[in-house]
Structure 1
Amino acid sequence: ENPFPMEQVTRAFFYAGSTFAERVALTRHHYELLQAWLHPEAFRTCSTFHGLRIWQSEDDASWQTALTFAPGQRKEGHLSLVMTAGGVSLYQMMFWLNLDKTGAPSLFIGAMQGPNAANAKDIIKDITKRSFRYRTKNLILYMTQAVARSLGVQHIYAVTNDGYYAQNHVRRDRKLKTDFGAFWEEAGGWKTDDPRFDELPLIEPRKTMEEVPTRKRAQYRKRFAFLDAIDAQIAASMESIRRSGAGAASPQA
């Protein structure tokens, strides 16, 4: 049903300068980790094109986020977290699971993609308002961090501008919509010894109320409560599809 892993290892996908051997290893580790951590049915669903909803707005069933995989996402990962509202795709985070240089199970973000629909701008504006002025692209990253914690990975790495697989942002007429490096840094990330990847925190840093201007404190309290509810729902959703006692253990060779 999903023929793309064979194509993915033979083409220069995932990140800039990836080798055939590296793509084989990351593909093998991704599916071994996913199979070790998830119930068989959930593993098959995430590995094909059906998708698993892991979050849904309490007041709008059309605003939801799912773990899924589609042919158009195959160049930057083996899984995607896709947020939709009103049937419109808003933001997608493409990623894969792999062992990092130290052998620690980790989540690697290959790209973040924004909306393309003509009416997406108005929907994004509405979603941002309903998220208490929390930007939608930050929200999809926040949800990705929640998924990473629920899986039990030890690190999150995110591709930089230098690491983006296609390097098409070098040309002036094909720039990336998002400056990855600037966005990861803003989200609390830091550089690694590989310029192609930054590391991100597993938990988003939050301002204390003392750091928030008095006039905005009510809004921030509502925002934090909203984000805490997202954490709880994603944790419950992931718990329902995880194998009992599954943790971030290295896959068997």
Structure 2
Amino acid sequence: MTLVTTLISAARKIQPGNTPGTLASQGRFVLAGLGERDLVGKMLNPAPGTALERIMAERPQLLGALVWPYQCANWGVHDRLSRIIGHYLALDDLGASFRFSVDERLILAKLDDLQEGMMLVIDQPEWFLREGGLTMSLFLGSFRAFSVAFSLFRMPDGRLSATIGGVQGRNREDMLDTYRDLTKELHGLRPRDFLIEACRILCRQLNVEILHAVSESARHQRHPYFRNKLSNSQNYDTIWQDRGGISVSPDFFELPVLPARRDLATLKPGKRPMYRRRFEFLDALEAEIAANLPAMRPVRFADS
């Protein structure tokens, strides 16, 4: 089968339909694929036994990045495909535990001391497909309460980087009360901020040296593919600035992998116990994740 035939078949599966608009989109898909034939070839014919081979077998729609955005709205086709391929190459370097199926999850830590059934989990939900290859979520039993999506990439100088492409909470009617309770249980850390701290912990354990986060103006929903359909949501710039991020380009903030902690002596006496407990909790969480990573094995459980 020729590349053109393969791309036409893929276009029809990823963008089905026969309307003039759909046919035009399918044509753009094929032309984009022909323009990046080397990268497309790597995705269509990955090396056996690799993370890329597994994900392309389980989620071939990843090739849709020929026309839709991936992580950053301003990345072109070459950057999008390079980042996708690079993420799965990085997973190969991390060992067998990180080559898990899309219906499996990795439990980084169990937080039953805070709330029965609370877990910190890594998985690959399809609805985060464009925001990152991995998603870290705070689960309450089978309920996914909050998530941060990110991908890995090895820079030309050999340093391992991570890029956060999305954060997402839930809109269930009781979520404000749920998040308020979780903030108390997490020693004053909002679930969103806790996940960013947990992401930094994982980055340190994986020897990630650079942590980027997509800016509000470059988040993937800003891409013309979505025709400005971004609904009201959290402002990414504000989130990253609140966690110590610094704008390094119009598209990205850089977050310190090892952020400075507030000096307890500079805090009001009434706040010091909470911050002390928070720091002790984060230190214990990092120790648990470090202990769990070498023997981590994929599991399956329901997602509600």
TM-score calculated relative to the size of structure 1: 0.86
In structure 2, the residue matched to 1:22 is 79
In structure 2, the residue matched to 1:229 is 284
What secondary structure sits across from 1:178 in the alignment? coil
- Percent identical pairs in the alignment equals 25
Contact 1:146 1:235 in 2 (8 A): no
Letter in 2 for 1:231: E
Letter in 1 for 2:172: A
Contact 1:142 1:204 in 2 (8 A): no
In structure 1, the residue matched to 2:90 is 33
Q: Once the two structures are superposed, what CA deviation does each residue of 1:19-65 show, in whole Å capped at 9, x if it has no partner?
A: 111112111111111011122xx2331x5231101011132341111
In structure 2, the residue matched to 1:128 is 183
In structure 2, the residue matched to 1:180 is 236
- Evaluate the alpha carbon distance shift between residue 74 and residue 137 of structure 1 in structure 2; reply closer, same or farther with a 3 A threshold: same
Q: Distance in 1 between matches of 2:171 and 2:147?
A: 11
- Evaluate the alpha carbon distance shift between residue 184 and residue 101 of structure 1 in structure 2; reply closer, same or farther with a 3 A threshold: farther
Which aligned runs of 4 or more in structure 1 are off by greater than 6 angstroms? Answer: 168-173
In structure 1, the residue matched to 2:269 is 214
Q: Distance in 1 between matches of 2:120 and 2:270?
A: 31
Q: Distance in 2 between matches of 1:8 and 1:123?
A: 35
In structure 1, the residue matched to 2:129 is 74
In structure 1, the residue matched to 2:152 is 97
What secondary structure sits across from 2:221 in the alignment? coil
2:110 to 15, 37, 56: 56
Q: Distance in 1 between matches of 2:287 and 2:104?
A: 23
Letter in 2 for 1:24: L
Q: Distance in 2 between matches of 1:89 and 1:241?
A: 20
1:198 to 234, 246, 253: 253
Which ranges of structure 1 fall in alignment gaps of 5 or more residues? 243-253
Which ranges of structure 2 fall in alignment gaps of 5 or more residues? 1-57, 298-304
Q: Distance in 1 between matches of 2:148 and 2:272?
A: 30
TM-score calculated relative to the size of structure 2: 0.72
Confirm or deny that 1:159 pairs with 2:214: yes
Name the structure where helix makes up a greater proportion of residues: 2
Q: Distance in 1 between matches of 2:150 and 2:229?
A: 26
Give the drift of 1:120.
2.2
Give the drift of 1:238.
2.1
What secondary structure sits across from 1:174 in the alignment? coil
Contact 2:221 2:230 in 1 (8 A): no
Give the drift of 1:69.
0.3
Give the drift of 1:207.
0.6
**Higher relative CO (CA 8 A, sep ≥ 6), structure 1 or 2?**
1
Q: Distance in 1 between matches of 2:274 and 2:267?
A: 10
